[in-house]
Amino acid sequence: MTRRLIGFLSLCLPLLGIAELAPVLGATARKAPVATTWVSSWGAAQQIPEPRNALPPDSLHGATLRQFVHLSAGGTSIRLRVSNAFGDAPLHLQVVHVARAAADGGGRIDPSSDRTVLFDGRPDVLVPAGSDYISDPVTFRAAGLSQLAVTMQFEASPKTQTGHPGSRATSYLAQNGAPPQAAVLPGAKPIEHWFFLSGVDVLLPAKGAGAVVALGDSITDGHGATTDGNDRWTDVLAARLQHSYATRRLAVINVGIGGNRLLLDGLGPNTLARFDRDVLARNGVHDLIVLEGINDLGTLTRDGPATAAQHEELVQRLIGAYRQIKIRAHSQGIRVIGATLLPFVGSDFYRPDSVSEGDRQAINAWIRKPGHFDAVIDFDRITCDPAHPDRMRPDYDSGDHLHPSPAGYRAMAKAIPLALFAKRSRSAKRSS
């Protein structure tokens, strides 16, 4: 009926001298295409693996490495971000494949889902030293909260490795030139680290799309979580967002590094040094959660007492670092959410005293004060023991009095109000 009416009008309108309206009427009958955008769905902060977490020299020569990552938001296409951030020479990957993880795990993939990843139209890629390289788009229906397998084949072992030791996920290394599309890599050795992979982007409808970056130390990285269990607080938050209609197109990117500090290098670069690569370079970011500082407080007195002046100086410098994070994030339109530091009295690693606890309380008071951050998540109040507020609740404690257990991580994530993100998700920040 609509087509007949448009046809009739197209004949009549020229007689009335208004033929120019006919194309407009025809256009209204066509549905406008849905705008799409690239959003980071998974990511890992990169560093030089310490010797005990590095691969043996020459172990990657002609080797095949299969790594599994847990996506947050899903999409109709994906792109990989391969990293040689700390390499001192180009990294040559001969071929890279992606596939869905098999339901029974064990390093298996679903071969029917396997796809070759191209870089500038080629199956191999040469990643320059000190850089990341983004792949061409791969048509691949990736479901939210699904397991993605990324399999790389190397030409040679790089002298300096780039990776993320705290994967809490099992990867598989085969040194016999196993084909990357194989359902199971023959003779593969399991390793609990990620290497040379820093991100996965997904393509999804632009309306309501965006990413939340969690910047932190081992508490964000997931020390105390279950290997292959995807039960870090960021994983639980991602699941909550995916299960809510209002936030289903929001992703969560975990860029925590165990032992990380705001001011000084430790296990990985200090927070300010890695900020551009780990936060600003991600696609679609419009919210940043900052949970950093406990390692700065702990290391001050780990090897001996500090003066009152040193304590005061550290507190002020940490506050200065928070301000720097906020300035740099705001320059890219990113909202910054401050998270209070968890209690750590009783930790055998840091052995904090009442003065260190006073530093933590001072930092948390500053974080909570309106105007310092754009919003606040009070992880301290969620995880502290009501009877002993300087200590973690026993049922949330992994046992070291510093890191939460899976139950503690779940409580942290469930205490975050989704309304904090629902309004922001109505429009995507940016895409590239």
Residue range 352-368, pLDDT digits in tens: 999 999 999 999 999 99
Residue 13 pLDDT greater than 70, yes or no: no
pLDDT score for 12? 45
Contact between 99 and 115 under an 8 Å Cβ cutoff? The reply is yes
pLDDT score for 18? 39
Residue 233 pLDDT greater than 50, yes or no: yes
Spatial distance between the Cα atoms of 225 and 138, rounded to a whole number of angstroms: 31
- If one compares 428 and 397, the residue with the highest pLDDT of the two is 397
Token output for 250: 């929001």
171-174/64-70 β-pairing: antiparallel
pLDDT score for 33? 84
**pLDDT band with cut points at 50, 70 and 90 for residue 425:** low
Residue 431 pLDDT greater than 60, yes or no: no
**φ, ψ (nearest 5 deg) of residue 247:** -125, 15
Lowest mean per-residue pLDDT among 2-6, 137-141, 253-257, 294-298: 2-6
Q: Which contiguous run of DSSP H or E holds residue 270?
A: none
Please give the torsion angle defined by the CA atoms of residues 220, 195, 170 and 175, in that order, rounded to the nearest 10 degrees. -170
**pLDDT band with cut points at 50, 70 and 90 for residue 267:** confident
Task: Please give the average per-residue pLDDT across 283-289, as a whole number.
Answer: 97
In this prediction the pTM is 0.91
- If one compares 430 and 312, the residue with the highest pLDDT of the two is 312
Residue 192 pLDDT greater than 70, yes or no: yes
Task: Please give the average per-residue pLDDT across 252-278, as a whole number.
Answer: 96
Q: What is the DSSP letter of 225?
A: S
197-205/36-43 β-pairing: antiparallel
Q: What is the pLDDT of residues 20-78, one digit of tens each?
A: 434 444 444 567 788 999 999 999 999 999 999 999 999 999 999 999 999 999 999 99
CB-count burial class (<10 Å; 0-12, 13-18, 19+) for 254 = buried
**pLDDT band with cut points at 50, 70 and 90 for residue 423:** low
Residue 94 pLDDT greater than 70, yes or no: yes
- Look over the chain and give the mean of its residue pLDDT values, rounded to a whole number: 92
Residue 17 pLDDT greater than 80, yes or no: no
The Cα angle at residue 300 between residues 297 and 302, in degrees rounded to 5:
105
How large a percentage of the chain has pLDDT more than 90? 88
pLDDT score for 29? 52
